Amino acid sequence: TLASASDNDLWEKSTLNQVLNRGELRVCAEAGYMPFDMRDKKGNIVGFDVDIGKAMAKAMGVKLDIRNTAWDGIIPALLTDKCDIIISGMTITPERNLKVNFTDPYIVVGQTILLSPKLKGKVTNYRDLNDAKYTIATKLGATSDYAVKRYMSQAKLNLFETESEGVLEVVNGNADAFVYDLPYNAIYSAQNEGKVLHLDDSFTYEPLGFAIRKGDPDFMNFLNNYLAQIKGDGTYDKIYRKWFAS
């Protein structure tokens, strides 16, 4: 029938079909975002995202290829077919959603603040930082960048390619605060006691999702059902506990 001819066409073009034919799932991720995507001592990328990617590839019966990709080029990399999917703690935003499609959220986070200990008691929330006398550091092109521009527009903003460069500014006394996703800040402050103060009330709502190219209902259907499955059968909880247990 006519309907099945065009359905076949869609499946032929689906990224999922290509992944199965290739025998490999290519994932774009950027290491440096704890505990989602990080380097271990041997230099391998590990983390919450990597374990979800591994489980996903296994369910597809294919190999996993993690491709480290700079954050500001990660959407272009997906759009030019350097990978099949972005699994990299990416916040689902309306702006990004105009360029890519997102799966259902796999976790929800928000922005928090790593404050210079010198400002203890003087700054107690994000509103206090909205002042020209303060300098804020964060990562270029991350939702933290957009959040500072929106909620702390009076402050001076210094942008860095990586999370670690940004947060070091606070430790070295070059910035008053580092704004970033809560899980990263929680781990950093636990590992660097006394160097930063974590104001851990999230002031944004940020569902994180996997991004794929537009126009691919077959791949999207697999991914959302896969997410629902692992959330229900204990796989997700097991991976979550491994990386978020404190």
Q: Does 51 interact with ligand ARG (rule: CB under 6 A)? A: no
Write the binding mask 136 to 175 for ligand ARG: x where contact by CB under 6 A, - elsewhere.
------xx--------------------------------
Site for ligand ARG in 91-120 (CB under 6 A): 91
Q: Does 89 interact with ligand ARG (rule: CB under 6 A)? A: yes
How near is the Cβ of 161 to ligand ARG at its closest, in Å?
Answer: 10
For ligand ARG, the closer CB: 133 or 150: 150
Candidate ranges 26-34, 119-127, 195-203, 210-218; the one touching ligand ARG (CB under 6 A): 26-34
How near is the Cβ of 212 to ligand ARG at its closest, in Å?
Answer: 15
How near is the Cβ of 140 to ligand ARG at its closest, in Å?
Answer: 10
How near is the Cβ of 141 to ligand ARG at its closest, in Å?
Answer: 7
φ, ψ for residue 87, nearest 5 deg: -120, 90
DSSP collapsed to 3 states, the chain: CHHHHHHHHHHHHCHHHHHHHHCEEEEEECCCECCCEEECCCCCEECHHHHHHHHHHHHHCCEEEEEECCHHHHHHHHHCCCCCEECCCCECCHHHHCCCEECCCCEEECEEEEECHHHECCECCHHHHCCCCCEEEEECCCHHHHHHHHHCCCCEEEEECCHHHHHHHHHCCCCCEEEEEHHHHHHHHHHCECCEEEECCCCCCEEECCEECCCCHHHHHHHHHHHHHHHHHCHHHHHHHHHHCC
Do 59 and 20 form a contact (C-beta atoms < 8 A)? Answer: no
Six-digit token pair at 123? 């700054």
Do 42 and 99 form a contact (C-beta atoms < 8 A)? Answer: no
How near is the Cβ of 233 to ligand ARG at its closest, in Å?
Answer: 26
Candidate ranges 8-16, 83-91, 116-124, 185-193; the one touching ligand ARG (CB under 6 A): 83-91
How near is the Cβ of 20 to ligand ARG at its closest, in Å?
Answer: 26
Q: Does 183 interact with ligand ARG (rule: CB under 6 A)? A: no
Q: Of 51, 85, 87, 88, which lies in the binding site for ligand ARG, with binding defined by CB under 6 A?
A: 88
For ligand ARG, the closer CB: 169 or 181: 181
How near is the Cβ of 27 to ligand ARG at its closest, in Å?
Answer: 11
Residues interacting with ligand ARG, by CB under 6 A? Answer: 30, 32-33, 36-37, 71, 88-91, 142-143, 181, 206, 208
